[in-house]
Amino acid sequence: MSSTKLKNAAEQWLHEHGDTIEFFDRVLPFECVPEDEENPKEWACEFGQEADGAIGYRLQPVESETGECGVALIFGKGHSWEGIRLMVEGVYETEEEALRSIDAWSYRI
């Protein structure tokens, strides 16, 4: 989906709320799980919160100035002591679509 107007609305939301944004959900990219792990999803859920590659995410409803609506997928990468990099990964029609995009490359932890 990710029209330019919706992407701009998501970037504007991030600009306005970036100092106070909180991430309650995280993902761990597949490549951050040890290759020899027998049950990688279980390992990710058990140890992934502390892994260096873990990424915070937030699903944020957005609306463009023309009334077009979507769900922005916002990532927070890094650690508080080094600075967290915020970015809009994309804008999707539904939360389910955004979560499917996450599931294609990572485990939700």
For residue range 73-103, what is the model confidence (pLDDT) as tens digits?
999 987 766 778 899 999 999 999 999 999 9
Q: What digits encode the pLDDT tens for the residues 25-68?
A: 999 999 999 999 999 999 999 988 778 788 999 999 999 999 99
Predicted pLDDT at 49: 79
Domain of residue 14 covers 4-108
Q: Tally the domains of the chain.
A: 1
Which pLDDT belongs to residue 80?
A: 67
Q: What percentage of residues in the chain have a pLDDT greater than 90?
A: 71
pTM above 0.75, yes or no: yes
pLDDT at 84: 83
The pLDDT value recorded for residue 81 is 66
Question: From CA 5, how far away is CA 17, in angstroms rounded?
Answer: 18
Structure tokens at 60: 């944020």
The yes-or-no verdict on residue 72 having pLDDT over 90 is yes
Q: Is the pLDDT of residue 108 over 90?
A: yes
Q: Are 59 and 23 in contact (CB under 8 A)?
A: no
Mean pLDDT rounded to a whole number for the chain: 91
Find all residues with CB under 8 Å of 14, minimum gap 6, and list them. 21, 72, 74, 86, 87, 88
Burial class (CB in 10 A: 0-12, 13-18, 19+), 104: exposed
